[in-house]
Amino acid sequence: MALTDTALRSAKPQPKAKKLFDGGGLFLLITPTGHKYWRYKYRFTGKEKLLALGVYPDVSLAAARQKRDKARAKVAAGFDPSEAKKIEKRSAKLNADNTFKAVALDWLEERKSTVEIAQHEKTSARLENDVFPWLGKRPIKEIDAPEILLVLKRIDKRGARFTAHRVRSEISRVFRYAIKEGKAESDPAKDLIGAIPPAVGTHFAAITDPKKVGEMLRAFDGFSGTFPVHCALKLAPMLFVRPGELRKAEWNQFDLDKGEWRYLVSKTKTEHLVPLSTQAVAILRELQALTGRGRYVFPGGRSVDRPMSDAAINAALRRLGYDTRTEITGHGFRAMARTILHEELEQKPEVIEHQLAHAVPDNLGAAYNRTKFIKERRLMMQSWADYLERQKVGAEIIPLSVAAS
């Protein structure tokens, strides 16, 4: 006789376990302690087996019958429902371990010891508030670029464009971590570079796509102009100073042994220090053999008593095939460095701004302090030169963080 809800509700426990049969192999097992478990009895390859279908009343009679019917269908099709259930459990656990949130938390934990606690907490908060609610439960392998773009647009729409760029970069790093751990095969966030308009508007064209940066640096090697202009072309993105300051650079401002360039910023009339990477020093030493006896690092083509033309860098870029109105300008290297240093290399905005010689008020009210963050700036400038070198040779990008001084 088929079971009824009334019979199930009124069934009392006995000293020994009791079975109430419904039909088709379905029965309710009532334990001496009063617990009620649904079971499905079936035969597979000649062996009698039991499949757990849940607990009554959490699983109703109707629900239990539906589960029984599905299990019977699997048996009829030649599949063992018990084994299928085990596979589903394993798959569910695997998916749970490989959700975007699970992978992101593992990535955060791995990098925690290499960044400042405040930076770790800010990154965690951004992911928790802006990413996990929409991507957190999704298997990371199934997430595509359009899904990520929706997350970024949601952030951008509330007026937090800078955060949108920051989040894109962090999502990208989660995917790169997942690739390393064998939990993803590609980084869809990488394809979204430039999908959100720049956080800081600029009148100067700039290249911020790492792949295109590498292409540009390789193109520099093919420059056939004068050696001083060639050196200026290679140093411009590496040092990212204002073009006028680069072309007017004087040898007495440099200490190549210390790896320093000190000069007076023309725009703010303040002293500025540019830490020189090993790559920059190597270029300058080679150039010093040619122009070191004169005043200017980059003398003009017509007279060594004058610096090179203010149009020299842009002319060199155009000579290499770049449109200085829409692609890159000498001044655009500053925007390029500012964007990539923050988004790709995770450098602090205040450190970048000081290296750009921008007026950044500090807690003492000073508009600019040329020695502030100097240790971090030295490390940043070397990291930046190393990054450019990797892009040039097409090597894998490894984000670097600067430790606190």
Residues with catalytic annotation?
242, 267, 331, 334, 358, 368
**Which residue, among 211, 222, 163, has the nearest Cα to 187 in the 3D structure?**
211
Diameter of the chain by CA atoms?
110
Contact (Cβ atoms closer than 8 angstroms) between residue 68 and residue 26 = yes
Q: How many CB atoms lie under 10 A from the CB of residue 114?
A: 13
246, 239 Cβ separation under 8 angstroms? yes
Look at residues 102, 156, 164, 191 and name the one whose alpha carbon lies nearest to residue 342: 164
Which whole-number Å values give the CA distances from 55 to 3, 50, 64, in the listed order?
A: 15, 15, 9
Beta-sheet strands, E only, within 135-294: 254-255, 260-264, 271-275
CB neighbour list of residue 179: distance below 8 Å, 6 or more residues apart = 185, 186, 187
Q: For residues 171 and 189, give the distance between their C-alpha atoms in angstroms, rounded to a whole number.
A: 7
Task: Collect all residues with Cβ–Cβ distance below 8 Å to 377 and sequence separation of at least 6.
Answer: 273, 275, 351, 354, 355
Q: How many angstroms separate the CA atoms of 85 and 49, rounded?
A: 13
Count the residues in the chain: 405
